[in-house]
């Protein structure tokens, strides 16, 4: 704690920073043990917002402390989601891909994520809509565009992850993209892009001139 008070939090290592946070509501012994346990399984903070209640309970062996860490985890997620991105000349599919990779790369199952944009291409809302095996049956345009209307969105960007890390779109991905684009055209809400997210990279239907 001496280094924290003297030099500030930006001088701490990841391990020291996590220890300081956990130490707020844990004894020194528990904080040290939990921090070591976390970094035994993870190299950095990239997975910390993906930890479940059970993960934290196993680290702390205490339900109440696990709930407190979940609250901090939720705060970090909301801070990430509060950031607005401008697309087009200032920002591109590349920037959106870089933004979504850390959000989706650790999921062990497919997740569909939607960005809702206004007429200036600012993100006004983002939402995780489907989780599991994504196909024509589970991903219904009605659910996606229902929220677009609710948020008064002018455009949407759809993204989903491939847990395998293989970015090549499947036939189902292509059919889903075409279907969403057609529905959006009818409703006057443009499908700006569809991205497939991997561990370190992405595939953009817009960049490949599919839409």
A 10 A CB-CB count for 35 gives 22
Residues in the chain where the model's pLDDT stays below 50: 88-90, 137
pLDDT tens-digit map of 77-120: 776 655 555 554 336 888 899 889 988 888 888 899 999 999 88
User: What is the pLDDT at residue 175?
Assistant: 92
User: What is the pLDDT at residue 80?
Assistant: 63
Whether residue 82 contacts residue 127, with contact meaning beta carbons closer than 8 Å, is answered with no
User: What is the pLDDT at residue 53?
Assistant: 85
User: What is the pLDDT at residue 88?
Assistant: 44
User: What is the pLDDT at residue 23?
Assistant: 84
Contacts of 175 by beta carbon, 8 Å cutoff, 6+ apart: 136
Greatest Cα-to-Cα distance within the chain, rounded to the nearest angstrom: 62
- Model confidence, pTM: 0.60
User: What is the pLDDT at residue 137?
Assistant: 45
Whether residue 24 contacts residue 34, with contact meaning beta carbons closer than 8 Å, is answered with no
């Amino acid at each position: 704690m001496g280094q924290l008070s003297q030099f500030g939090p930006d001088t701490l290592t990841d391990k020291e920073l996590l220890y300081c946070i956990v130490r707020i509501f844990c004894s020194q012994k528990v904080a040290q043990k939990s921090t070591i346990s976390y970094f035994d399984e993870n190299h950095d903070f990239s997975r910390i917002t993906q930890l479940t209640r059970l993960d934290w309970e196993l680290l702390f062996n205490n339900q109440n402390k696990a709930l407190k860490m979940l609250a901090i985890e939720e705060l970090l997620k909301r801070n990430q989601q509060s950031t607005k991105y401008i697309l087009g000349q200032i920002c591109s599919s590349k920037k959106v891909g870089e933004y979504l990779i850390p959000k989706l790369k650790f999921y062990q199952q497919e997740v569909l994520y939607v960005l809702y944009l206004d007429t200036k291409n600012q993100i006004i809302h983002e939402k995780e809509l489907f989780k599991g095996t994504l196909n024509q049956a589970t991903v219904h345009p009605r659910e996606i565009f229902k929220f677009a209307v609710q948020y008064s969105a002018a455009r949407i960007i759809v993204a989903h992850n491939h847990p395998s890390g293989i970015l090549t779109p499947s036939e189902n991905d292509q059919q889903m993209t075409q279907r969403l684009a057609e529905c959006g055209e009818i409703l006057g809400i443009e499908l700006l892009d569809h991205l497939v997210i991997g561990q370190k990279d992405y595939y953009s239907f817009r960049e490949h001139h599919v839409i």
